[in-house]
Amino acid sequence: MSCSKVYFTDFRSYHEEALTHKLQRLMDKAGLGQLDMEGKYVAIKMHFGELGNLAFLRPNWAKAVADYVKSKGGRPFLTDCNTLYVGSRKNALDHLDTAFENGFNLFSTGCQILIADGLKGTDDVLVPVDGDYIKQAKIGRAVMDADIIISLTHFKGHESTGFGGAIKNLGMGCGSRAGKMEMHSSGKPQVDQGRCVGCGECRRNCAHDAITIENHKAFIDHNKCVGCGRCIGACPKDATHPTGDNTNEVLNCKMAEYALAVVNRRPQFHVCLVQDVSPCCDCHGCNDTPILPDIGMFTSFDAVAIDQACADACLAATPITKNTRLEEMTHLGEDPFINSHPISEWRSQLIHGEKIGLGQRDYELIVMK
């Protein structure tokens, strides 16, 4: 079997070309225009950013993709599902308000926004998937109603999955609230009482009232905890952490199986922009300084191949250690994502994705100027 093709271009603006136009050229070179989009509903899955976060992709990128789809006769819409954790995107009304405040609207993007799993995150479709962990994925209805799925991904670090790429954007991002709970439920965090100072940040970020503060220490009720991991990212002292060594590996595998449910048996295309590579997910209401330089744009029909190509490019780049999270870490290795979050793990999502037929890790990188 021949390897998948991944197309790449950097962020240089040769001959004063707009970068959004350069992305459209890259998508065209990769063959997106060969899909029959005439009259088809095209879901552009992206992240609208949490309020306070400034690392998310600008609306201009969404408009570039939407305009390209419309030029081929397609009917694009931007979409995402509600979050499991407390934040500004936990229901469709807050989610839309957040998208608008972050600059996403009909005029800036050229298409409408639909929150795929409805008002309260309960409007989902059970999608059969023959996975090792998942048999019926719970996917936002609007995503599954679309004829074509395009992932538009900000490639960055993540405190549990190592990085967030196309697989995470599709798998975790398209899961309804119940779907996200299913993916997260294998691992439930615990608190290192020696590091905990009882500040209450974990409790304030818990959507399920699972955390109490007693004698200036946090305690997690695992009967209430759904394992979403929000408390891990919220803790300023790194006192909360997963309980099992394979927790993040299982999360990655479930995420890959959810991604397969989203793309299986319909046209798919993927865009990853490796820029503003913050160490943590865009789901946080803040963003730290980038740990890597801006690398470029990647496109492919293969979600596994594009994530592998992005990861390889990041590993080959020189990390930014001055005034970043990496400056605070000791015993740095060659992997900037693991250096940022030593308990995270990312290779399993690619290995498992290839195993279940989501895509392949072998790829041919085609560079466009």
Query: Domains of the chain: which residue ranges?
Result: 4-186+244-367, 188-243
What pLDDT is stored for residue 186 in this prediction? 60
Q: Are 275 and 11 in contact (CB under 8 A)?
A: yes
High-pLDDT (> 70) share of the chain, %: 97
Dist. CA 315–CA 107, nearest whole Å: 37
236 alpha carbon, distance to own chain's centre: 23
* Three-class DSSP category at 115: strand
What pLDDT is stored for residue 73 in this prediction? 98
User: Considering all CA atoms of the chain, what is the largest pairwise distance in Å, rounded to the nearest integer?
Assistant: 64
Q: Are 296 and 369 in contact (CB under 8 A)?
A: no
CB burial of 284-305 (b: ≥16 within 10 Å; e: otherwise) equals: beebebbbbeebbbbbbbbbbb
What pLDDT is stored for residue 240 in this prediction? 86
Give strand pairing partners of 217: 214
Count the Cβ atoms, other than its own, within 10 Å of residue 212.
14
Phi then psi dihedrals of residue 317, to 5 deg? -80, 160
Count the Cβ atoms, other than its own, within 10 Å of residue 178.
14
Q: How far is CA 67 from CA 77, 106, 145, 199, in A?
A: 11, 12, 21, 47
CATH number of 188-243: 3.30.70.20
Q: Which residues of the chain have pLDDT under 70?
A: 186-187, 229, 233, 242-246
Dist. CA 111–CA 66, nearest whole Å: 7
Dist. CA 276–CA 54, nearest whole Å: 9
Nearest alpha carbon to residue 171 among 127, 207, 208: 127
CATH number of 4-186+244-367: 3.40.50.11440
Dist. CA 77–CA 69, nearest whole Å: 10
Q: How far is CA 341 from CA 232, 238, 285, 334, in A?
A: 11, 10, 18, 13
What pLDDT is stored for residue 124 in this prediction? 93
Identical fold for domains 4-186+244-367 and 188-243, yes or no, is no
What pLDDT is stored for residue 187 in this prediction? 57
Q: Which helix (H) or strand (E) holds 349?
A: helix 347-355
Task: Decide the pairing of beta strands 363-367 and 41-45.
Answer: unpaired
